[in-house]
Amino acid sequence: MSPANKYSRWIKAEARRLGFSACGISKAGFLEEEAPRLELYLKNNYQGKMQYLENHFDKRLDPTLLVEGAKSVVSLLFNYFPSETQKHPDAPKISKYAYGTDYHFVVKEKLNLLLEFIREKIGEVDGRAFVDSAPVLDRAWAKKAGLGWIGKNGNLIMHKAGSFFFIAELIIDLELEPDQPIKDYCGNCTRCLDACPTGAIVAPKVVDGSRCISYFTIELKDEIPASMKGKFDNWAFGCDVCQDVCPWNRFSIAHSEPQFGPRPEIINMKKKDWQEITQETFGKIFQNSAVKRTKFSGLARNLMFLGDEI
């Protein structure tokens, strides 16, 4: 067994021990297939006012510009599918990933433990851990590493496991055994395209980010366009529609990470609780939660926009 193969086995075993659902490896290098797609995405202004997506174009496509001497990208998936969802059907909805502690804290800590393991087991290895916080095309790398395929909704879908996963990476200067991509299993299904409340999925695998409910309720800092009135399907933070309707998510199983456990004070909130939420209550309920990203002012704006919908 070659050192690259042996190291890869060690890393995957440790990733599993740390709670990651899957781990795949790809050779660090320029993402040729993604370059024209990213260029067209920006040209069509699908990024809306997410101007950070316009920055670091070259780094998004080449991890060796993020980590000097990078040889491998270790892609990891962490399940966040909850054991229970919001209790009151008429209450404003938030994405399932925001039910517990902010994933940036939880997954980043586990990534750092994995990097620490690599250094203890193998020796001096230089690298960086990424959790949705740098110019890394995580879905492209996860696909390249054979963890799944890109669905028509733009999400990475894992075969017989679904798409309710966080994606993270270690970019390191260690030669590892790369995995191979898997085939696309979407077939002729168009459920996600048909179900998107705002028509944000403009073509298979092409999402106009500037029309997505998650964009409006989280990323957009201005007023929500009046043209979107009545199209939010009661979502106050994020949106899970294109995942909820995906047939592959019938295979989703509840995660076992305590920090991602649904907070009772969130999933038990009634419509009235949401309508009467104050800055103080917001700070308590959503402490260390991904919902804090929109801030109280943003959440209040979203709830006001829903208006008669809630």
Cα 237 to its chain centre, rounded Å, is 14
What residues contact residue 41 under an 8 Å CB cut-off, 6+ apart? 47, 209
Residue (of 214, 221, 218) closest to 239 by Cα position: 214
Amino acid at 263: R
- 132 as an active site residue: the answer is yes
DSSP 8-class letter at 92: P
Query: How far is residue 121's CA from residue 174's CA, in Å, rounded to a whole number?
Result: 13
- H-helix segments, the chain: 3-17, 34-43, 57-61, 103-122, 138-144, 191-195, 213-214, 241-244, 264-267, 271-275, 279-285, 295-306
Single-letter code of the amino acid located at 196: C
- Distance CA(85)–CA(80), nearest Å, equals 12
Whole-angstrom distance, CA of residue 99 vs CA of residue 120: 34
Q: CA-CA distance, 142 to 152, in Å (whole number)?
A: 16
User: Which one of 90, 102, 126, 132 is the catalytic residue?
Assistant: 132
Alpha-carbon span 63 to 71, nearest angstrom: 9
d(CA 213, CA 132): 19
Catalogue the active-site residues: 132
